Amino acid sequence: MSAQEDFNKKSPDKEEEVQLFKIHGVNVHVTPSEKQFAQDLFDSLASIPTGRKAIEDMKKFKVDFFLETALGTAGGYFDPEKNQIVMAKSLGMDFMEFALVHEARHLLQNNQGRNEAEAQNLDYASRLMINRATEADAQTQAIKACKEWEAIGHDAPMKRFEQHYKPIVDAYNKRGSLSDAFKGWYDDDRIASSYEQGYDVDVYLNNLTAEPDYREPVSLTPADIAHFCGGDRVEGFEEFLDSKQARQVHLLTKTAVELYDEAAAAQGAPRDPSLKNVPVRDLKDNPAAQIYADKYIKKTREDIYPKLLDKETDPLEKRVSNTVMSAIKAVEKVNAAAIKGEHDVNAEKELKEAKARIGKDIKRFIPANETAKIAAIKNNRSR
């Protein structure tokens, strides 16, 4: 019986206490019955150069490793605030092997300057650039590890990686190039769209009524982030990150950020100058983009709708949610025309009006004392 099978057969009836073990010098927090699985996982990483690099980084930066039931099939994550790498218990060994290499790369990125960069009030284009480049870099590290395992006769991680991330594998296989693998991340509409929804649409729409950051936006260039995104192994790194392929987003995504920008400006925050230059993803002759544009419009509408029905919803929140729903409807119409290579002028006008209305919604509910605060902020910024 494999460690994974034994691990999965353990009865959940008795709660075991999580204990701290040192495995290959890394702080590993698991139950005694999970220890062998964790040992096998770290032994596998130790069998290849890229895995050993991941282990060395985990030791160097004193990260804590956890297995978590609540994640379900979500995979895993690196939490920079707690300095933890958390992996879902439900992942098979073959997936967790490269996923741990991926998360260890995020740990390294954070300690090479990502943390300091993101502490600033970055404009949207810069934040998008970092989010994407760090993911592409982490996946490049993951496929590098998979290829090393494959070379020593352990091909399960590579097979599993290809099942989930075929565009990256296809890009890599053209020349056996890590540079191509990095760029291949941007070819995957499923992944790129998912990250836009999770990191941008959900975040910005859920914070429309929150107090904004009043600091001036900071704009970064590809050269500014190359040192923590593996820029040295990507051919034409700076030119690629400035390309439409690397910068384009769905119209829904751009709309969500523009709605937030309007709401923030209504509270006295400076506008984000980068938004006007963020390109919208083409939908004509692009079936994958069409599928995910439609999918996330439906998801966003489903997320917003309960706020309109809930009697306990704050009046401002309800008013803003109504405006967001109008914007979503307009985006849907604009997209329908774009699929045909056309423009829906009326829908574009409706979208523009919805964006302007968000600011008015916010201003209507700003208390008198907050109005004075906003005036003071604007006055200080103009000096």
Q: What is the pLDDT of residue 1?
A: 46
Distances (CA, A) of 212 to 151, 257, 302: 50, 13, 25
Q: What is the pLDDT of residues 67-89, one digit of tens each?
A: 986 554 467 899 999 999 999 98
Residue 157 has φ and ψ, to the nearest 5°, of: -60, -40
Q: What is the pLDDT of residue 75?
A: 75
Q: Is 307 exposed, middle or buried (0-12, 13-18, 19+ CB in 10 A)?
A: middle
Q: What is the pLDDT of residue 11?
A: 45
pLDDT in tens, the chain (383 residues): 444 555 555 544 467 899 999 999 999 999 999 999 999 999 999 999 999 999 999 999 999 999 986 554 467 899 999 999 999 988 889 999 999 999 999 999 999 999 999 999 999 999 999 999 999 999 999 999 999 999 999 999 999 999 999 999 999 999 999 999 999 999 999 999 999 999 999 999 999 999 999 999 999 999 999 999 999 999 999 999 999 999 999 999 999 999 999 999 999 999 999 999 999 999 999 999 999 999 999 999 999 998 888 878 888 889 999 999 999 999 999 999 999 999 999 999 999 999 999 999 998 887 655 655 665 665 566 55
The count of C-alpha atoms lying within 13 angstroms of the C-alpha of 289, restricted to the half-sphere facing its C-beta, is: 20
The single residue listed with the structure tokens 């329908």 is: 336
- Three-state DSSP state, 154: coil
Distances (CA, A) of 33 to 4, 11, 144, 190, 209: 11, 10, 31, 36, 46
Residue 78 has φ and ψ, to the nearest 5°, of: -105, 125
Q: 167-196 in b/e burial notation, b at 16+ Cβ within 10 A?
A: bbbebbeeeebbbbbbbbbbbbbebbbebb
pTM of the full predicted structure?
A: 0.90
Distance separating alpha carbons of residues 44 and 98, to the nearest angstrom: 10
Q: What is the pLDDT of residue 372?
A: 56
Residues 35, 65: contact at Cβ < 8 Å?
no
Q: What is the pLDDT of residue 91?
A: 87
Q: What is the pLDDT of residues 157-198, one digit of tens each?
A: 999 999 999 999 999 999 999 999 999 999 999 999 999 999
Q: Where are the domains of the chain?
A: 1-121
Q: What is the pLDDT of residues 31-55, one digit of tens each?
A: 999 999 999 999 999 999 999 999 9
Question: Hey, which CATH number is domain 1-121, 1.20.1250, 3.30.460, 3.30.2010, 3.40.50?
Answer: 3.30.2010
Distance separating alpha carbons of residues 180 and 202, to the nearest angstrom: 30
DSSP-assigned states of every residue in 198-230: IIIIHHHHTTTTS----SPPB---HHHHGGGTT
- Sheet of strand 84-88: strand arrangement: 19-23, 26-30, 64-68, 84-88, 76-79
Note the maximum CA span of the chain: 71
Look up residue 197 and give its two tokens. 């929804």
User: 27: alpha, beta or left, given left = phi > 0 and alpha = psi -120 to 50?
Assistant: beta
